[in-house]
Amino acid sequence: MSIELAIALSVGAGLFGVGLYGALSQTNLVMILMGVELILAAALVNLVAFWRYLHPDVMAGQMFVLIVMTVMAVEMAVGFGIAIVRFRSRGSVEMEEARELKG
C-alpha cells in the first residue's frame, strides 16, 4: 500500500469519526445534518482513494462520486427545508422538542 493511500484513508477515517460524533452527540437538527454530511464526505474520500489506487484509468469512479455529491446536496436541501419549516412553526430546531413528528 502506498503512503498516499494510507494518508487519504486516514483523512477519511478522521472525517468519519468526527461526523459520527457530531451526528450522535448533537440535539440540533442542523448539527446532525452536518455530521451526516461529514460521514458521506469521508465515504467519498475513501472511494476516491481506492478508485485512484486500484483503477486510475476507469472513469466510473468519478461519475459515481458526482452522483453521490448530487445526492448529498439534495439531502441537505431537504434537511434544511425541514429545519426552516420547523423553526418557523415552533421556534426551535432541537430534536428533543420534535416528539410530535413521530408517526
Output the CA angle 31-37-40, nearest 5 degrees: 150
Low pLDDT (below 70) residues in the chain: 98-103
How far apart CA 33 and CA 90 sit, in angstroms, is 19
- State the CATH number of the domain containing residue 96: 1.10.287.3510
Total structural domains in the chain?
Answer: 1
Report the C-alpha gap between 28 and 36 in whole angstroms. Answer: 13
Q: Identify the pLDDT of residue 11.
A: 95
Residue 4's pLDDT is 87
Q: What's the pLDDT at 101?
A: 64
The pLDDT value recorded for residue 44 is 92
pLDDT of residue 20: 96
Q: What is the signed CA dihedral for 57, 49, 60, 77, rounded to 10 degrees?
A: -150
End-to-end alpha-carbon separation of the chain, Å? 48
For 7, the domain range is 3-101
- pLDDT value at position 77? 94
Cell triple for 102: 413521530
| Count of H-run helices and E-run strands, the chain | 3, 0
| Grid cell for residue 46 | 475513501
